[in-house]
A and B are shown apart, each in its own frame.
Chain A
Amino acid sequence: MSNVSNNAYALTVLSPIKNDHIGELSYGDIVRNKLIEWDVDEGSPMAKVPQTYLARYFILDDVFSEALAGGDFWGTSYDILAFFSDKFRRRALPKIDQLKSRYLVFSSNFHGDLEIYLRGMWAVMQKEIKEVWGYCYAFDHVHDADTFIAYIKKCQLNAALFFVGSTDDSLEEQLKSLYLKQEFSKFAVEHQGLPAMELQKAYQAFIRRVEPTNLAGPSWKPGQSTLCK
């Protein structure tokens, strides 16, 4: 299972939150409150991090299961246990797993190399990173981009959790594509039925305006969640 798909990278990070508290409030709840306070969409600190396709944070309180793990490992031959006391049979069931601490889960899909991405992240949202990861074990070793990268790599889980709905092109390419698609739809709707000459003229003006090959030109903003009017 690879967490790299051509130029797209799926990063999954689980950082254990210290079992401590401030007043009555546990660190886990404090971190959750900080995350809730962050702005969303274009205003999210993650919108400033270069090449982020989609990112998600949440607090993992514990592991949950649908039901108690069963004792049917040996199939029906397990029924022989009915011979023994209930206490014995219960003891034979697998133990229920529990997390030793709560975890800050950070999951991001982005374009390109992990270290470059994390360096970019550190550069634009150091304050927010410290605000949430500051309550996690071993984060006191982090004081610059290099130590942040080392820390994240230690917390990284090798999981191929890719979000659908994205290619592996750079973020600028994808935002520009979305912008062009929307603008071109508008153009087609607004100009249908024009005589060829006029249409061509309008199309040339359209191309000059949207600058299809200029990624730095008009485009969607990172984090944008609704259509441009």
Chain B
Amino acid sequence: MTKVLDLHDIQGNIVRAYGRFGFPVARYIFLQIRDGDKGRAFVGAVTNKVTSAATWGVGPHPIPKPKVTTNIAFTYGGLKALGVPRESLRGFPPEFVMGMKKRKDILGDDGPSAPENWDSVWHQEVHVFVSFNGQSQEFIEQQCQWLLQLIDQSDGGVVLLRGHRGDDGSTDLPYQDAKIVFENGKPTSKEHFGYTDGIGDPVFEGLPDSVLNANGRGKPTADGGWEPLATGEFILGHFDEAHEYPPAPKPFLLSRNSTFMVYRKLHQNVGTFNAYLEEQGKLYPGGKELLAAKFVGRWRDNGAPLVSAPDVERKKIWDAKFAQATSQERDNMLSSWDYDKDPNGAKCPFSSHIRRINPRSSLEFGNKGAFDTPGALSNRRRIIRRGLPYGEVKDPDRDDGNHGIIIMMINADINRQFEFVQQQWINYGNDFKASNDRDIILGNHSKEFPSKAVLPVEPDSDQVPFFLKAIPRLVETRGGDYFFVPSITALCIIAEGTIDPT
């Protein structure tokens, strides 16, 4: 039987990348609970407006598409301050209890990415995350006024935490704003290095049309097809890929349809990126744009995967086909492929960003049937990525502007999924037979032990491999934490103070 999820009970940001649904602007707000009773009353009031994952505009009593969405999540400290019973708190996984700052050694948040260099909001104890995604800025401002009123009414029970860096060098802004990047006045799905972003998020059982969308976004099967991943990889209280319930706190009402979210503010060193790409692009035989594609595994302009469009000529053919394709065909062209025709990384290098964060079936290394299923080593390391760019690039030659990306990663097990990918695949290369080479874009490259990356060529070609040397740190962590994203049911019982873990 096809699995059906209760979408009315799941928060909407888990299932939808709002940016792709006509919400180009967002605001992220961080709060601290100073009084449990007042805090719970506040959570109750917010819960009434929380946007669920329900499909808009269908069925009886259809839910209209909102002008602005509202979602909420809590750190461990936040749940404690809201009076979640000790017996329930004890059931949360250790990395969530510790929070992101204390996991810096595992995450590679060192040097410029170290917590002492984060935005000052993270130097306080963050308890609550509230996000608004708006069809326009105006709706966000309205929703924000409503939230500020609620905070006001809490009479000191809930406090807005300031301390976000902003455009004009300010360091004490009350909110983190984000918005899609405009190019020549037109909205794009690009980030500040110029890459088309947000392609190929995982698809799991229970989502509307999950089977239809599984191509290239679910898990690879032995016969070369695709299936949706198990729900429990992304949502608590459902079976995961091991046919087990992911570790979760008691009672079931608190955890079922809830999940965990990793919030990270990543500053992009745009000046360094452009200079490095320019310098290496002059040396690289394929030219600058192909080199930029090699960094990530996709071409910057439209996200064409290198596996299908490995050079300028084949990119032209791909582009022509893409231009004629229906939207479903386009989705397949962008997502539905595997690395089986590129076992040596000659098309998509082992250290390119997309090969690192989702190796698909490539960890079989061409040895078909090495595991019981081709994605055995990657199916349990998948992450849903949500988020938007923030700031604006005013001077493409400088690093110190206000520009980067807010990324929110959804997974059922932060340690097994996000932290593993960050530690073993982004900041280390052994699983890719790439020694200690890092993800070119996201790796925590340092001057002390200069990073390299290899761009391989086909073993029987007369070309030579290209080595990227002394890769500078292109992306720096500016803040973040681990959040519990409760189901709507869980939000209600947190607000009521009626969680009974016995």
Q: What distance in Å separates the Cβ of A17 from its nearest Cβ neighbour in chain B? A: 34
Task: Give A181-223 as 1s and 0s: 1 = Cβ < 8 Å from B's Cβ atoms.
Answer: 0000100111011000000000000000000000000000000
Interfacial chain A residues near B321, Cβ < 8 Å: none
A229 on the interface (CB 8 Å rule)? yes
B449 adjacent to A193 (CB under 8 Å): no
Interfacial chain B residues near A189, Cβ < 8 Å: 452, 467, 469
Give CA–CA (A229, B467) in the complex, Å: 18
A227 on the interface (CB 8 Å rule)? yes
Residue in contact with A229 in the complex, picked from B283, B436, B448, B452, CB distance below 8 Å = B448
B467 adjacent to A192 (CB under 8 Å): yes
Give CA–CA (A185, B283) in the complex, Å: 18
- Which single residue of chain A is at the shortest CB-CB distance from B449? A227
Interfacial chain B residues near A185, Cβ < 8 Å: 452
Interfacial chain B residues near A190, Cβ < 8 Å: 469
Question: B residues 129-183 with Cβ under 8 Å of A?
Answer: none
Q: What distance in Å separates the Cβ of A106 from its nearest Cβ neighbour in chain B? A: 29
B365 on the interface (CB 8 Å rule)? no
Give CA–CA (A190, B450) in the complex, Å: 12
B466 on the interface (CB 8 Å rule)? yes
Interfacial chain A residues near B452, Cβ < 8 Å: 185, 189
A188 adjacent to B448 (CB under 8 Å): no
Residue in contact with B449 in the complex, picked from A188, A192, A229, CB distance below 8 Å = A229
Give CA–CA (A82, B431) in the complex, Å: 53
A-B contact count (CB 8 A): 15
Q: What distance in Å separates the Cβ of A151 from its nearest Cβ neighbour in chain B? A: 40
- Which single residue of chain B is at the shortest CB-CB distance from A188? B467
B283 adjacent to A193 (CB under 8 Å): yes
Q: What distance in Å separates the Cβ of A225 from its nearest Cβ neighbour in chain B? A: 13
Majority SS of interface residues in chain B?
mixed
Interfacial chain B residues near A188, Cβ < 8 Å: 467
Interfacial chain A residues near B448, Cβ < 8 Å: 229
Chain A's interface size range is under 10
- Which single residue of chain B is at the shortest CB-CB distance from A181? B435
Give CA–CA (A194, B466) in the complex, Å: 13
Q: What distance in Å separates the Cβ of A191 from its nearest Cβ neighbour in chain B? A: 10
- Which single residue of chain B is at the shortest CB-CB distance from A226? B449
Question: B residues 455-479 with Cβ under 8 Å of A?
Answer: 464, 466-467, 469
Q: What distance in Å separates the Cβ of B97 from its nearest Cβ neighbour in chain A? A: 27
Interfacial chain A residues near B469, Cβ < 8 Å: 189-190
Interfacial chain A residues near B449, Cβ < 8 Å: 227, 229
- Which single residue of chain B is at the shortest CB-CB distance from A185? B452
Give CA–CA (A181, B148) in the complex, Å: 60
- Which single residue of chain B is at the shortest CB-CB distance from A191? B467
Give CA–CA (A192, B457) in the complex, Å: 15
Give CA–CA (A66, B233) in the complex, Å: 29
Q: What distance in Å separates the Cβ of B208 from its nearest Cβ neighbour in chain A? A: 44
Interfacial chain B residues near A193, Cβ < 8 Å: 283
Q: What distance in Å separates the Cβ of A192 from its nearest Cβ neighbour in chain B? A: 5
Interfacial chain A residues near B466, Cβ < 8 Å: 192
Question: B residues 362-415 with Cβ under 8 Å of A?
Answer: none
Q: What distance in Å separates the Cβ of B287 from its nearest Cβ neighbour in chain A? A: 14
Q: What distance in Å separates the Cβ of A136 from its nearest Cβ neighbour in chain B? A: 38
Give CA–CA (A67, B177) in the complex, Å: 55
Interfacial chain B residues near A227, Cβ < 8 Å: 436, 449
- Which single residue of chain A is at the shortest CB-CB distance from B285? A193
Interfacial chain B residues near A229, Cβ < 8 Å: 448-449
Q: What distance in Å separates the Cβ of B443 from its nearest Cβ neighbour in chain A? A: 16
Q: What distance in Å separates the Cβ of B437 from its nearest Cβ neighbour in chain A? A: 10
Question: A residues 136-175 with Cβ under 8 Å of B?
Answer: none
Q: What distance in Å separates the Cβ of A187 from its nearest Cβ neighbour in chain B? A: 10
Task: Give B264-290 as 1s and 0s: 1 = Cβ < 8 Å from A's Cβ atoms.
Answer: 000000000000000000010000000
Interfacial chain A residues near B283, Cβ < 8 Å: 192-193
Question: B residues 70-119 with Cβ under 8 Å of A?
Answer: none
Give CA–CA (A229, B446) in the complex, Å: 12
Give CA–CA (A227, B437) in the complex, Å: 13
Give CA–CA (A192, B283) in the complex, Å: 9
Give CA–CA (A189, B436) in the complex, Å: 15
Give CA–CA (A101, B449) in the complex, Å: 47
Task: Give B421-462 as 1s and 0s: 1 = Cβ < 8 Å from A's Cβ atoms.
Answer: 000000000000000100000000000110010000000000
On B, residues with C-beta under 8 Å from A are: 283, 436, 448-449, 452, 464, 466-467, 469
On A, residues with C-beta under 8 Å from B are: 185, 188-190, 192-193, 227, 229
5 contacts between A and B (CB under 8 A): A185-B452, A192-B283, A192-B464, A227-B436, A229-B448
Q: Which 3 A-B pairs have the closest CB atoms?
A: A189-B467, A189-B469, A189-B452
